[in-house]
Amino acid sequence: QVQLVESGGGSVQAGGSLTLVCTASGSISSRNVMGWYRQAPGRERQLVAAIFTGGVTNYADFVQGRFTISREYGDTTVYLRMNALKPEDTAVYYCNYRPLRDASDYWGQGTQVTVSS
């Protein structure tokens, strides 16, 4: 079993920055991918960024170079540094964990990000 706890959400003006933090605990696989997804009202949940153990990353097209995902503390803590935020980035952001050798999928409770114009 894996537990994910997110923090770092909040309200900022357009052009501002936030850093989201996700800490994973429990039975963590030595090979996994962790990432951030977001869901706006009335929209499907979508990938923002993901990072594998070993450091390979994947970003959604809408990131446009503004965000950086990283991990540390034995790959159990994942950060999403978001710069140049836009109102359309407003959503609930969810941390995700997926071991590579299993079909398991784990989610955090979500943290609200609100960007005002």
- At 53-101, the pLDDT tens digits run 999 999 999 999 999 999 987 778 999 999 999 999 999 999 999 999 8
Contact 96, 36 (CB under 8 A): yes
3-state class (DSSP) for residue 61: helix
Q: What is the dihedral of CA 37, 4, 31, 83, to 10 degrees?
A: 40
Q: Which two tokens stand for residue 25?
A: 């605990």
**Confidence label for 117 from pLDDT (cuts 50, 70 and 90):** very high
Is the confidence at residue 36, as pLDDT, over 90?
A: yes
Q: What's the pLDDT band for 11 if we cut at 50, 70, 90?
A: very high
Whole-number mean pLDDT of the chain? 95
Of 6, 3, 4, 17, nearest in space to 111 by CA: 6
Cβ–Cβ < 8 Å for 29, 99: yes
- Whole-angstrom distance, CA of residue 25 vs CA of residue 6: 12
